[in-house]
C-alpha cells in the first residue's frame, strides 16, 4: 500500500511518538468528558467503545515513550485537560454536537496518522502497522459519529472548522514542545 523507504529519520520517529502520545492523551479525555454528560444516553455505549480504543492507543504510545526514551510533551497535562474540556463542552451542546466534535477530531487524526505511515521506512514496519491500525480505528470513529448524525449538529460547519483548527495547532505545538 505504502511504498516504504529503507530507513526512517530518528528525529521524525521521536517527533511522531511525542505528538501521538499527546494526541491520544487528549483523545481518551475527550470521550471521558463526553461521558460525563452522555453516560446514560443511548450513544453512551458507542462513546465507551471509542474511549476504550483511545486508551489502548495511549498505552501503546506510553510504552513507546519508555522503550525508546522519547521525551513526552512538556504540555502533557494540558492536552488531557483540553481534551476533557472539549468533550464536556461539546456534549453539553447536545449529542449531535458531541458527534460533530468526533468527526472533526478524527478526520484530522486519520490524516495525521496516514502522513506518518507514509513516512515510516522498512526499519519501522512494526510501528507503521500499529499506526495504520490506529488510523483505521480513528476513521471508524469518524464513521460512527456520521451515523449518529454529527453532521446535523447546529452550526456544524463552524464547530467542525474551529475544532480542526484547534487540533492542527495542538499537533504543531506538541511535535516540538
Q: Residue 40 is placed in which grid cell?
A: 446514560
Provide, rounded to whole angstroms, the least separation between the CB of residue 135 and Fe ion: 9
Any idea which residue has 446514560 for its cell? Answer: 40
Using the minimum distance from each CB to Fe ion, give the nearer residue, 123 or 164. 164
Provide, rounded to whole angstroms, the least separation between the CB of residue 7 and Fe ion: 27
Using the minimum distance from each CB to Fe ion, give the nearer residue, 54 or 124. 54
Provide, rounded to whole angstroms, the least separation between the CB of residue 41 and Fe ion: 19
For residues 109 and 25, give the distance between their C-alpha atoms in angstroms, rounded to a whole number: 13
Provide, rounded to whole angstroms, the least separation between the CB of residue 3 and Fe ion: 25
Using the Cα atoms of residue 38, residue 110, residue 123 and residue 18 in order, give the sign of their dihedral: negative
Between the two ends of the chain, the Cα-to-Cα distance in Å is 32
Using the minimum distance from each CB to Fe ion, give the nearer residue, 37 or 109. 109
Q: Which residue is nearest to Fe ion (CB)?
A: 57
Give Cα separations from 77 to 29, 99, 117, 134 (angstroms). 11, 24, 26, 22
Using the minimum distance from each CB to Fe ion, give the nearer residue, 124 or 138. 138
Provide, rounded to whole angstroms, the least separation between the CB of residue 24 and Fe ion: 5
Q: Binding residues for Fe ion, per CB under 5 A?
A: 24, 27, 54, 57, 138, 141
Residues 160 and 103: beta-carbon distance below 8 Å: yes
Give Cα separations from 42 to 37, 161, 177 (angstroms). 12, 27, 39
Residues 16 and 116: beta-carbon distance below 8 Å: yes
Using the minimum distance from each CB to Fe ion, give the nearer residue, 24 or 124. 24
List helix spans (H) across 39-155: 44-67, 76-92, 95-119, 125-147
Amino acid at each position: 500500500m505504502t511504498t516504504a523507504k529503507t530507513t526512517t529519520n530518528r528525529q521524525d520517529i521521536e517527533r511522531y511518538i511525542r505528538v501521538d502520545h499527546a494526541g491520544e492523551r487528549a483523545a481518551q479525555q475527550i470521550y471521558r468528558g463526553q461521558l460525563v454528560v452522555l453516560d446514560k444516553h443511548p450513544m453512551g455505549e458507542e462513546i465507551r467503545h471509542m474511549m476504550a480504543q483511545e486508551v489502548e492507543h495511549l498505552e501503546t504510545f506510553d510504552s513507546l515513550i519508555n522503550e525508546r526514551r522519547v521525551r513526552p510533551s512538556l504540555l502533557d497535562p494540558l492536552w488531557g485537560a483540553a481534551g476533557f474540556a472539549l468533550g464536556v463542552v461539546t456534549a453539553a451542546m447536545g449529542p449531535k454536537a458531541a458527534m460533530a466534535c468526533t468527526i472533526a477530531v478524527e478526520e484530522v487524526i486519520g490524516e495525521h496518522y496516514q502522513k506518518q505511515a507514509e513516512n515510516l521506512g522498512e526499519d519501522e514496519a512494526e510501528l507503521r502497522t500499529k499506526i495504520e491500525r490506529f488510523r483505521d480505528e480513528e476513521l471508524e470513529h469518524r464513521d460512527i459519529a456520521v451515523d449518529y448524525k454529527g453532521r446535523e449538529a447546529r452550526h456544524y460547519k463552524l464547530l467542525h472548522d474551529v475544532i480542526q483548527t484547534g487540533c492542527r495547532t495542538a499537533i504543531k505545538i506538541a511535535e516540538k514542545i
